[in-house]
Homo-oligomer: A and B are copies of this chain.
Amino acid sequence: MKIISSTPKKDGFYMPAEFSPHYGCIMIFPERADSWTYGAYAARKAFVKVAEAISESEKLTVCASAKQYENARRMLPERVRVVEMSSNDCWARDYAPTFVTNGKELRGINWGFNAWGGLVDGLYFPWDLDDKMARKLCDLYDIDMYDLSSFILEGGSVHVDGEGTCITTEACLLSKGRNPDLTKVEIENFLCEYLNVNKVIWLENGIFGDETNEHVDNICTFTAPAEVVLAWTDDPSDPQYKPSQRCFEILSQSTDAKGRPFKIHKLHCPAPVLVTEKDCEGLDTMDFKPTRTAGERLAASYVNFYIANNAVVMPIFDDPNDEKAVELLTNLFPTRKIVPVPARDILIGGGNIHCITQQIPLVE
């Protein structure tokens, strides 16, 4: 593995859209008992469901700690590769490299990671093992790496169409805990240079209560060029109402890098998913404090799905809106099997299916 001091744009490398063909996918096996209820047993089962669906049509590698390796190997299908790798938690989207390609070669980008806000409003301490994963994964896949570890960014905070457009949120990228010394323009320049895009669409906010400072991948994602789904609610009393309205306005008034207006599909959120007393009783403390409070609203959204080669693996919440969400994605992805996975046991950790996956584009 070589460290490349150039940038993807200079070298003709770019980040393809998630709906483009994949070589494979990376996940991390969940373990920490202050993130995952009741020793993460239920979380592991839910992750395995996701892994089963993804590995049907692409090569999945699951990273497991030395302690969980054997358990992961036993629970996951034979076709999944399990490798030992240490981490602080299991959000592959945010720690794994962002993969870029020139169509022939694959490279990785190592962004800095500070647990979604570092000492300002980060979610745990320390985060050193997570921060080192991108580099270790580039080594594992034996690919060269662009090192931008001085710039804090999580994979879940940006979406691209592979045709020059990036969507992100101000709430996250302009947060005080990430790159407080950079202006919006400077941040945008980094995105353009490393993702190799020439247009960045800035949404303002994401999903209410999303503790990542409102990653875009929970509220809005590309389903095709110039086509997005947007997390939605028609209830004006819901704190999600205004943020979603505002996203709609911004997207309606924008065009993508190729000048096309967006087709926006509203994906209605489930009813609020709340933390229960029982959840709290099954969580270890962090820094002597409980990590969840009964009644707390989790950032539930159907948008946090993963687009695999032949499947869309999507979260469902035992909610009346599940069916409508499945129907919409079925229409939007006619060549893919829609695989709904009951996802409360993932959501309790703070993210969802998209957050626990990272695709690797297919190259020649």
Distance in Å: Cβ of A172 to nearest Cβ of chain B: 29
The answer to whether residues A84 and B82 also contact, given A70-B132, A139-B73 and a CB cut-off of 8 A, is no
The answer to whether B81 touches A136 (Cβ under 8 A) is: no
CA distance A66 to B59 in the complex (A): 24
A250 interface residue (CB < 8 Å to B): no
A66 smallest CB distance to B (angstroms) = 4
Query: Which residues in window 103-154 of A have CB below 8 A to B?
Result: 129, 132, 135-136, 139-140, 142
Interface range, A side: 20 to 34
A135 nearest CB neighbor, chain B only: B73
User: Taking the nearest CB of chain B, how far is it from the CB of A363, in angstroms?
Assistant: 18
Q: Which of B1, B2, B73, B136 contacts A84 (CB 8 A)?
A: B136
B residues in contact with A136, CB < 8 Å: 69, 82-84
**A66, closest chain B residue (CB):** B86
Let me know if B142 and A81 touch, CB within 8 A.
Answer: yes
- Which B residues are in CB contact (< 8 Å) with A11? none
**Residues on the B chain within 8 Å of A42, using CB:** none
Q: Render A71-106 as a binary contact track against B, CB cut-off 8 A, 1 for contact.
A: 001000010011111100000000000000000000
Pair A78/B132 contact, Cβ less than 8 Å: no
Say yes or no: B132 contacts A81, CB within 8 Å. Answer: no
Which residues from chain B contact A139 at a C-beta distance below 8 Å? 73, 81-83
A 1-30 binary contact with B (CB < 8 Å = 1; else 0): 110000000000000000000000000000
Chain B residues whose C-beta falls within 8 Å of the C-beta of A78 in the assembled complex: 1-2
CB pair A83 B81 closer than 8 Å? no
Residues facing B in A265-315 (CB within 8 A) are none
Q: Please report the C-alpha to C-alpha distance between residue A135 and residue B2 in the assembled complex, in whole angstroms.
A: 28
Tell me, rounded to whole Å, the shortest Cβ–Cβ distance linking A60 to chain B: 11
Given contacts A1-B81, A66-B86, A70-B132, 16 further A-B contacts (CB under 8 A): A2-B78, A59-B142, A69-B132, A69-B136, A73-B135, A81-B139, A81-B140, A81-B142, A82-B136, A83-B83, A83-B84, A83-B136, A83-B140, A84-B84, A84-B85, A84-B86
Chain A to chain B contacts (Cβ below 8 Å), 26 pairs: A1-B78, A1-B81, A2-B78, A59-B142, A66-B66, A66-B86, A66-B129, A69-B132, A69-B136, A70-B132, A73-B135, A73-B139, A81-B139, A81-B140, A81-B142, A82-B136, A82-B139, A83-B83, A83-B84, A83-B136, A83-B139, A83-B140, A84-B84, A84-B85, A84-B86, A84-B136
